[in-house]
Structure 1
Amino acid sequence: MDATSRAHSFNAAAAQYAANRPSYPPALFDAVEELAGHPFKGARVIDVGAGTGIATAELYARGAQVVAVEPGDGMAAQFRRALPGVPIVRGDGNALPIADASADFLTYAQSWHWTDPERSVPEAVRVLRPGGALALWWNVPDRTVPWVAAQEARVERRFGAGTGAHGTAERTHGLSGAVDFVRHRVSWSRRVPLDTHLANLGSHSLFLVLGEEGAAEFLAEERTELTRIFPHGVVDEYYTVDLLLAHRPS
């Protein structure tokens, strides 16, 4: 499956993405601040691959001076509707349109795996101020929960081993070398209507490039399976946020 096609697939589904994707728990941002050694409040934060602004909104609410970077037309348009007061520039992590040594934080929420680490790691080092922090994180389905593990297994049978609904096979590719990462995990959950859960699942690139008919068929089967588990039509989604953080040397 072509990575470029998958990356661009979000633009046509930006509204679906914004309405149904999960955000992130406060404990995640607490952990980033603790590991970084300084708060978001007053800090200059570059949120790369910002998409529709799900993480950006949380950073802004914490008092950060946020600039978003987003390559996609549809995602950027949705971002501007959601966060009209937050600057957004067009670009990606492989060639950041940001000045040298100008950021206290560089954040990638659910987006690092779309970069080429041979290019994005040097770019991060260039853009961060000495002592600045590069923080990467992903909402990962918690496979210790039986129904979540079963759903991920069904996705992998459809799309191939190691993919899962969230592209977890790609998450830690190419992270060694120029910077040293520490890892932290935060477990959390949310309760949503079944329709929201299925729309969230369908907003992932694996489904967006599958085609409307193929995606609809899979999601209909999931509706049947999950209705049996959640007969009242409300789903408890369980996640572990996988956080990786590194400092630019002072």
Structure 2
Amino acid sequence: MPLSACIIAFNEADRIGDCLASLSFCDEIVVVDSGSTDATVRIAEAMGARVLQRPFDGFRSQKHFAVEQAAHDWVLCLDADERVGAQLHASIQAARAAGFDGAAGYRFARLSDYFGRFLRHGNAYPDRVLRLFDRRRGGWRGQREVHEAVSLDGPVRPLAGDLIHYPYRSLEQQVAKTQRYARMMAEHEFARGRRARWSKLVLAPAWRFWRGYLLRGGFLDGWRGLVYAYMRANYVRQKAIMLWLLQYGQAVAEPPPAGDPPA
């Protein structure tokens, strides 16, 4: 069963090579780049990927475009900061050898590195994602451009193994990324008519922290689990504040200069 890998990238020269290496079992690799100024494109092409250029207008739209460009109907979608782990590789190959056995897609766990160690508890794990699917039965549908997800018409089955994730290069990058995602989600919710309440500002961040840190065992990841739980709670707080400001007609960000590439 032929399989295409689809990746979106922007200035990922330090991570794209490992990502592509973990996809060597795929029949083709499509990389959609949004104007990288580093060696991302050169590395991807040297490793045999087909690289396409497209201006960034949202994560969902970029991934949908990548899937449309694939030569095969079964696709495996990754971000440049992800790699297929050994057990997941074996599980994908077994499902592939069985002709994907009537499934529309497959879901598997994502294991994230956080300051040099993998988080195995709390809100961080298993973080199951649907990334392997038959594009004829769905894909990156909907209007939300951040925290995008695949939806399918048909059965979705689990696969053993982990998708290895290296989401942050530093705390500074995590703070900036979290703020950007919070703004995008607040703008999306505001456009759909949702409004913030005081409980969202006060109670929702606290609940996110205690749910991840205590109820889901985030404390078992040591100080990393504590910092991660706090950062996730801060995301909820930022999103609520931005939605609150939007409904009172206040700006939440300065517009980027014309022609500025995505962060």
Choose 1 or 2 for highest CA Rg.
2
TM-score under structure 1 length normalisation: 0.30
TM-score under structure 2 length normalisation: 0.29
